[in-house]
């Protein structure tokens, strides 16, 4: 897994400085020179950060506002590039996490990117969803069902092949074991959605402190392995 940034800028000098700094920080990049292109990319893919030329690109300032007010990627770490038209204070007020002034300083940019990486990783950890394949016993008002869990996060779990046995807003009790863990996890959940394919998404509503801590530690370990390219838990199963 590699962190990635969307760059909205069409100035070659700034792009040269930006791409060099991103490479040093091992952050991937997707460069857009027009707002329409950036909007499409932002709505169709996930990014960890956005770098926006607010003053020298038409509608750049509005794009920064749109990122913060949009449904997708609004939590991405944002870097605003200003050049006299927007004050540093105004850029922060519009939602920027970091503000850079032209001409870009390589050293300052590197320091800001390294600080931003910490925020990006924290965001990834919070939203990280690990693939797995374990049996989950689900008790609901319609009975007890043995289903397969296919992914999990700190706040939710995905089940497959529910075949009409679960419905949205239904309250359930789940029991399962994480791969390579002996502790049985038992928690309360609520069915958030059920797709025609038979997949269902549940929100974990009540998780005992001991189970929540074990889940968090397990997910963080899997996250670190994913970030360093080691084999994830999806290759391991437990009945």
With residue 100 as reference, give the H or E element that holds it: strand 98-101
- Residue 149 has which token pair? 């869990």
Smallest CA-to-CA distance from 95 within 116, 69, 118 is with 69
Average pLDDT value for residue range 47-64 = 94
| Cβ pair 132, 152 in contact under 8 A | yes
| Residue 135 backbone phi and psi in degrees, to 5 | -80, 140
Taken in order of first residue, the domains within the chain and their CATH numbers are 4-127 (3.40.50.2300), 130-235 (2.40.10.220)
Q: Is the pLDDT of residue 41 over 70?
A: yes
Smallest CA-to-CA distance from 14 within 112, 77, 105, 113 is with 105
More confident residue, 176 or 228: 176
Average pLDDT value for residue range 216-230 = 78
Weakest mean pLDDT among 83-92, 114-123, 156-165 = 114-123
Number of Cβ within 10 Å of residue 127's Cβ equals: 12
More confident residue, 12 or 126: 12
| Dihedral, 125, 209, 177, 158 alpha carbons, nearest 10 | -50
On whether the pTM is more than 0.85, the answer is no
* ∠ Cα 186 174 232 (to 5°): 80
Confidence of residue 52 (pLDDT cuts 50, 70, 90): very high
Name every residue whose Cβ is closer than 8 Å to that of residue 62 and which is 6 or more positions away in sequence.
35
Number of Cβ within 10 Å of residue 4's Cβ equals: 17
Average pLDDT value for residue range 137-157 = 93
- pLDDT score at 128: 82
Confidence of residue 142 (pLDDT cuts 50, 70, 90): confident
- Counting residues of the chain whose pLDDT is more than 90, the rounded percentage is 70
The whole-chain average pLDDT of the chain stands at 89
Average pLDDT value for residue range 90-116 = 95
Q: Is the pLDDT of residue 237 over 80?
A: no
Average pLDDT value for residue range 41-54 = 93
Q: How far apart are CA 234 and CA 239, in angstroms?
A: 13
Place of tokens 């929540």: 212
Place of tokens 């991405």: 76
Q: How far apart are CA 7 and CA 92, in angstroms?
A: 18
Q: 3-class DSSP state for residue 178?
A: coil
Average pLDDT value for residue range 75-87 = 94
Q: Is the pLDDT of residue 235 over 70?
A: no
With residue 127 as reference, give the H or E element that holds it: helix 106-127
Smallest CA-to-CA distance from 238 within 191, 166, 175 is with 175
């Amino acid at each position: 897994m590699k962190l990635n940034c969307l760059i909205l800028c069409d100035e070659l000098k700034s792009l040269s400085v930006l791409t060099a700094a991103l490479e040093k920080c091992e952050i991937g990049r997707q460069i857009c020179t027009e707002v329409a292109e950036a909007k499409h990319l932002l709505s169709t893919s996930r990014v960890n950060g956005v770098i926006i030329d607010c003053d020298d690109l038409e509608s750049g300032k509005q794009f920064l506002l749109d990122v913060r007010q949009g449904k997708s990627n609004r939590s991405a770490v944002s870097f605003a590039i200003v050049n006299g038209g927007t004050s540093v204070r105004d850029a922060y007020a519009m939602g920027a996490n970091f503000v850079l002034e032209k001409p870009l300083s390589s050293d300052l940019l590197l320091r800001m990117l390294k600080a931003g990486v910490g925020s990006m990783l924290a965001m990834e950890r919070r939203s990280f969803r690990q693939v797995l394949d374990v049996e989950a016993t689900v008790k609901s008002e319609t009975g007890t069902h043995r289903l397969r869990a296919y992914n999990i996060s700190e706040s939710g779990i995905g089940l497959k092949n529910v075949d009409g046995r679960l419905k949205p807003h239904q309250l359930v009790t789940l029991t399962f074991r994480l791969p390579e863990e002996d502790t049985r996890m038992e928690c309360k959940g609520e069915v958030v959605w059920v797709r025609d394919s038979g997949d269902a998404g549940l929100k974990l509503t009540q998780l005992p402190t001991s189970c929540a801590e074990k889940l968090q530690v397990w997910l963080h370990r899997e996250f670190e392995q994913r970030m360093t390219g080691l084999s994830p838990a999806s290759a391991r199963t437990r009945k």
